[in-house]
Amino acid sequence: MSLLAAASARAGATLAQSHAYCAQLTKSQARNFYYGLKLLPQPKRCAMFALYAYMRLVDDIADGEDGRSVRQRMDALEAWSESTQAALSGQLPPDGHAIWPAFTDMVQRHSVPAHVFHEVIAGQRQDLESPAFATFEDLRQYCYRVAGVVGVASIYVWGFQGGAQTESLAIDRGVAFQMTNILRDLREDAARGRIYLPLTELAAAGCTVADLRNGRPSAAFEQFLRDQITRAQSYYQRSAPLDALISPDSRPTLTAMTQIYHGLLQKMATDPLRVLRQRVSLSALAKVRIAWRAARSR
């Protein structure tokens, strides 16, 4: 059963019940984010749980393994879009999902821009169309929709200074996270027929989509991966000023989340072809250590 279906019966949830639902969903699903989010003070922690839950649920519509057809998922995504618009307008969405009280509280309390959620839904529509990205600019636009705008929403919850320039840095950090995800999940995505890589660059490197789907290692493909890792690294570097522009009580969270994702990228850099053999991850102990160090930095 999808996460969306599991909560569909919880009509008329109170704000407290909605917050509890979002916290539990985040704890059970956010393998990398949860360690950082726990460092936030209340009510920012509740707001970030609501933000994560929203993103997780909309992703579940497009990506969940529950047997629905693409057409059914498109219809479900359209219904979710209508419910989102109702919540953003201060109305009670007709589906009565448990997330909406916490979601509405998060948006109103922290003035999160509505365009964030419209872009996320557009990104999920793109996913359902089995996207192919000819150039990196095409891929970057997708990363913006599914991760960059999440960075924007996050800094509104955390508090920040610097205006549009800081929002741009948050987008870059989100792109860095998403590119790390893409490289980590390369084998799994390819098995499902999804290639989140610039196809012109893949061809120029002398590699084919079939090589990727078959997990066929080669020196050319290793160099191609190194180039993608270097590009992802550049987005961590260019977004480095972001940390100093976030409210002090939220910096440990951003630090922990960044170090966990950057740690994944650095692990892949030591052996790029590993992504064809296994899913690269950090141990729970490593994540706890990162979170502990981030908390001490406060």
Question: Are 284 and 151 within one domain?
Answer: yes
Where is the domain boundary, 128, 156, 177? Answer: 128
User: Within this chain, do residues 112 and 249 fall inside the same structural domain, yes or no?
Assistant: no
Tell me whether residue 7 is in a domain. no
Within a domain: 146: yes
Domains identified in the chain, total number:
2
**Does 6 reside within a domain?**
no
Select from 83, 98, 128 the last residue of a domain: 128
Residues 142 and 231 in one domain: yes
- The answer on 97 and 67 residing in a single domain is yes
Q: Is there a contact between 257 and 32 (Cβ–Cβ < 8 Å)? A: yes
Residue 225 contacts residue 248 (beta carbons within 8 Å): no
Q: Assess whether 27 and 137 both reside in one domain.
A: no
Q: Are residues 208 and 263 in the same domain?
A: yes
Domain that holds residue 251: 130-298
47 and 63 housed in the same domain: yes
CATH code: domain of residue 180: 1.10.600.10
pTM of the model: 0.91
Q: How confident is the prediction along the chain (298 residues), in pLDDT tens digits per residue?
A: 344 444 443 446 899 999 999 999 999 998 778 888 989 998 899 999 999 999 999 999 987 667 788 899 999 999 999 999 999 998 889 888 999 999 999 999 999 999 999 999 999 999 888 778 999 999 999 999 999 999 999 999 999 999 999 999 999 999 999 999 999 999 888 888 889 999 999 999 999 888 888 888 999 999 999 999 999 999 999 999 999 999 999 999 999 999 999 999 999 999 999 999 888 999 989 988 998 898 887 6
Picking from 112, 128, 144, the residue at the C-terminal end of a domain is 128
Specify whether 207 is located in the same domain as 291.
Answer: yes
Question: Is the same domain home to 124 and 84?
Answer: yes
